[in-house]
Structure 1
Amino acid sequence: MSLEIERKFLVTSDDFKQNAYQKTYIKQGFLNSDKNRVVRVRITDTNGFLTIKGKSNTSGTTRFEWEKEISLQEATQLLALCEEGIIEKTRYFIKQNKHIFEVDEFLGDNLGLCIAEIELENEHEVFTKPDWLGNEVTGDVKYYNSAISKNPYKNW
């Protein structure tokens, strides 16, 4: 169990791809997408994960997170039980000084949406913003994956 401290930004160009040191395909769904808690099932290439996230603080930067690796078979079975609106995306990992940006390029009904996240040690930690980083959307529920699964980008 831990607290997750992260900030989210829109991405303004594909320039991040030239600095990515890794990428992975992600398919995920939600067993529960209540505003007070989210239970997510995720498959990344060949691994499965079950994650529980609590409600965000008022700034949207910090919330409880618990994650456990599960077998690919278990994740596939749980994905079949998820609420409607499975999300698919490619995640790119970009190192920027001591931080790592995770950039999600969404697929399917969310094609065209691209969001960068950075995990921090505290809410006020200073970090270098790459040129491709756009407007901050931290705390904007509309950009939460659980919200995107219900109201995909194509409908905006």
Structure 2
Amino acid sequence: MSELRISADKHELDVGLVHAFLSTQSTWAKGIPRETVERSIEHSICFGGYVGAEQVAFARVITDQATFAYLVDVFVLPEHRGSGYAKALMAEVMAWPSLQGLRRFMLATWNAHALYAPLGFAAPGRPETLMERYHPDVYTDAARLAAQNGTS
């Protein structure tokens, strides 16, 4: 396994790689426009994982840095999985100074419970108190509408 270097410097991020992964390979952001990815990076704490000069991992935290955080867009490129990079990336995220002492730190996952449970994440203790507005096809619907209207 090559050494993974983790940085929260947004200037180091390969935004093209992040967009390509999210828009084509993720299960949660298919079709997301690059402009949306750029805006989300601008307004979040972002972590890039690098092997040499190549970015191979990413995580983003939406937070007020005082009471609440929401972990999103965590990925390791398929060809680099199984090397412990996700655990290393998450260790850095969880140790980040401005993410300490938060009342609530949330995430949503379909298949990575084993990664997050050792870090203290669990199913909500009172799920009846949580609500959401969820539109899983927002990016593909917007693209389809634009194509239909000839504005893509």
Query: What TM-score, normalized by structure 2, do the two folds share?
Result: 0.30
Write 1 or 2 for the structure with the bigger share of strand.
1
Larger radius of gyration: 2
Q: Which has the higher contact order (CA 8 A, sep 6+)?
A: 1
Write 1 or 2 for the structure with the bigger share of helix.
2
Query: What TM-score, normalized by structure 1, do the two folds share?
Result: 0.30
